[in-house]
Amino acid sequence: MREDNAHRDFPGRGLLINLLRVVHIAGLAGISTVVLAGADGAARWGALMAASGLGIVALDAWANPAYFRQAKGLGTLLKIALVMLLVAWEEGRQPLFWFVLAFSVALSHAPGRVRHRRLW
């Protein structure tokens, strides 16, 4: 029986996650132009961010069975949902964009004891 906090890995997982992060940042740049400069393409850039984010979540959850009980796992799912809301809710895009950006930075740069805290 596998321990609850046992981690799994495979060769190239780190590289794959980093490539997905590059795609994710490209989506962030696109969403930024939509929100801040009024460009078109919210659905396209939002889909790119959501797909790459879900890929990262899938790899992280596979590697760490406790991922969805930790603050970082639940926070990441919340961010993906908020990005989808940002795409759909044109009137609320700007405040939602800044909230998601600040929340993302706070979560990703929080101390490990916060990110890895089990919420249940």
Predicted confidence (pLDDT) per residue in 40-96, tens digit: 999 999 999 989 999 999 999 999 999 999 999 999 999 989 989 999 999 999 999
Distance CA 70, CA 66 (A): 7
For residue 105, tell me if it sits in a domain.
Answer: yes
> What integer best gives the mean pLDDT of the chain?
93
Distance (Å) of CA 113 to CA 38, 51, 98, 117 = 39, 28, 25, 6
Query: Letter for the amino acid at 16?
Result: L
For residue 1, tell me if it sits in a domain.
Answer: no
For residue 19, tell me if it sits in a domain.
Answer: yes
Structurally, the chain folds into a number of domains equal to 1
CB-based contact 82:97 (threshold 8 Å):
no
For residue 84, tell me if it sits in a domain.
Answer: yes
pTM across the whole model: 0.84
For 40, which DSSP code?
Answer: S
Which residues form the domain of 90? Answer: 13-115
For residue 54, tell me if it sits in a domain.
Answer: yes
Model pLDDT, residue 1:
40
Query: Letter for the amino acid at 8?
Result: R
For residue 3, tell me if it sits in a domain.
Answer: no
Which residue is it, tokens 């396209």? 44
For residue 86, tell me if it sits in a domain.
Answer: yes
